[in-house]
Amino acid sequence: MDCCISKETYRYVKAIFLNKHDAQNNAVKIGLDNAGGDILITYYPGMLSDPKELKRFYNLLASGRAEFINATRLIYPVKGQALRQLNITINLIFSRFFSWLLGQRITDILSDNKAFFRKDYLKIKKGISSFQFDLLFLASKNKLNILEMPIHYREYSGKQNYLRSFKRILILLKMCFVGYWKLKIIPQVSLFVNLKTILDLNTIFKTGKHEI
């Protein structure tokens, strides 16, 4: 930490101690709820992208050109990473569906690096169960302007195999159904219920069968 942060900036750093049993989702929620400032940024704990690039996220939001930023790892090459072409193909296939679902172009669905305004997070936090996906779903539902930011991604040092890629496919398939339900089915059901309520009230007032 000493090599990255000067003594003058320590007063802006807040250390939060988590229970070792806390899941990643809960850890992200605790971090966001305790963060200060008007702009919130989530960052992949594996440190596979340069933290210095997060400044670009901040500058883009502060300029007003975006309301929500999703990082994409698919622009810059990653040398030596096994199965990268397969992973890119998986992302590109699913990105077409998610882009249609969200109504905005998204290429890297599984990216953990995101940036958004605190005021928007406070509006959508109650509906979040998976920070990797629900942040995007709710940003789209609230009609936030989503932009993608290319980042440099370092080679993953862990084990890369076809099983890991298969698990990624299963996660994406599951979130396709979840996203379709949240963004397409539920709004239509709500619209139908509201329309039915309006028609029922209209019928009551026309027939005079109402009490004051």
**122 within domain boundaries:** yes
Band of pLDDT at residue 115, cut at 50, 70 and 90:
very high
CB atoms within 10 A of CB 26: 13
**2 within domain boundaries:** no
What pTM does this model have?
Answer: 0.76
Cα 114 from chain centroid (whole Å): 6
User: What's the average model confidence in pLDDT over 3-27?
Assistant: 64
Q: Which residues contact 50 (CB under 8 A, 6 or more apart)?
A: 151, 152
User: What's the average model confidence in pLDDT over 120-124?
Assistant: 91
Band of pLDDT at residue 79, cut at 50, 70 and 90:
low
- CA distance linking residue 184 with residue 69, whole number of Å: 23
The residue range of the domain holding 58 is 7-207
| Residue 25: closest CA among 125, 132, 115 | 132
- CA distance linking residue 96 with residue 164, whole number of Å: 22
What's the total number of domains in the chain? 1
**For residue 75, what is the DSSP state?**
S
Return the higher-pLDDT residue of 168 and 70. Answer: 70
Question: Among 55-69, 91-105, 121-135, whose mean pLDDT is lowest?
Answer: 121-135
Percent of the chain clearing pLDDT 90 (strictly above): 22
| Residue 104: closest CA among 71, 73, 46, 148 | 148
**102 within domain boundaries:** yes
Tokens of 162: 């076809």
User: What's the average model confidence in pLDDT over 179-194?
Assistant: 74
What is the Cα gyration radius of the chain? 21
Question: Among 28-37, 93-102, 113-122, 142-151, whose mean pLDDT is lowest?
Answer: 28-37
Give the mean pLDDT of the chain: 78
| Residue 72: closest CA among 147, 166, 184, 1 | 147
**176 within domain boundaries:** yes
Residue 14: is its pLDDT beyond 50?
A: yes
Band of pLDDT at residue 149, cut at 50, 70 and 90:
very high
User: What's the average model confidence in pLDDT over 138-163?
Assistant: 80
